[in-house]
């Protein structure tokens, strides 16, 4: 019987397509179905490229350092949007349900391995929240500095 990771690697394209669709939800003007390039649609490109890297990391068991940059790029984009943190980061948690839905048709007893995957997704979510919070704090600092500059209060 194949491991859950082997089964997930087989159905990875379906998981990725569904996860990217969830990641695009609520973003007007971008779509997972449109061709995305760094110049044609940079936001779609950013989300597609980085969700793929995150899923690769999850399924291949990469180092924790390997997840930081793709997650940071998505969180930076989400931080500038005017949405709640829960809304901005729900795409991470959606991955759990997508994986379970796709595994329904597969046969196997993967309770232990699914717990490991859940733990890894939870760690992704915690790291995403840290990154998102730092980005939001930086945006607030920049806004305060700009207001001070506008009204001449940055001199003392």
| CA nearest neighbour of 46 among 91, 1, 97, 15 | 91
Q: What's the CATH class of domain 4-150?
A: mainly alpha
Write out the two tokens for 48: 């597609």
Q: Where exactly are the structural domains of the chain?
A: 4-150
Reported pTM? 0.85
Name every residue whose Cβ is closer than 8 Å to that of residue 17 and which is 6 or more positions away in sequence: 32
- Blockwise average pLDDT, block size 10, the chain, 156 residues: 86 94 70 66 90 94 86 94 90 95 81 91 96 95 90 68
């Amino acid at each position: 019987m194949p491991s859950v990771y082997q089964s997930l690697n087989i159905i990875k394209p379906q998981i990725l397509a569904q996860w990217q669709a969830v990641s695009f939800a609520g973003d007007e003007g971008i779509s997972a179905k449109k061709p995305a390039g760094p110049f044609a649609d940079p936001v779609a490109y950013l989300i597609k490229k980085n969700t793929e890297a995150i899923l690769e990391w999850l399924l291949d068991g990469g180092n924790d350092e390997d997840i930081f940059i793709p997650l940071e790029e998505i969180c930076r984009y989400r931080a500038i949007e005017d949405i709640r943190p829960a809304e901005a980061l729900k795409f991470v948690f959606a991955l759990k349900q997508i994986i379970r839905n796709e595994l329904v048709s597969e046969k196997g007893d993967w309770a232990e391995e699914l717990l490991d995957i859940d733990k890894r997704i939870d760690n992704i979510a915690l790291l995403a929240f840290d990154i998102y919070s730092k980005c939001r704090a930086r945006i607030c600092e920049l806004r305060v500095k700009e207001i001070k500059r506008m009204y001449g209060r940055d001199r003392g």
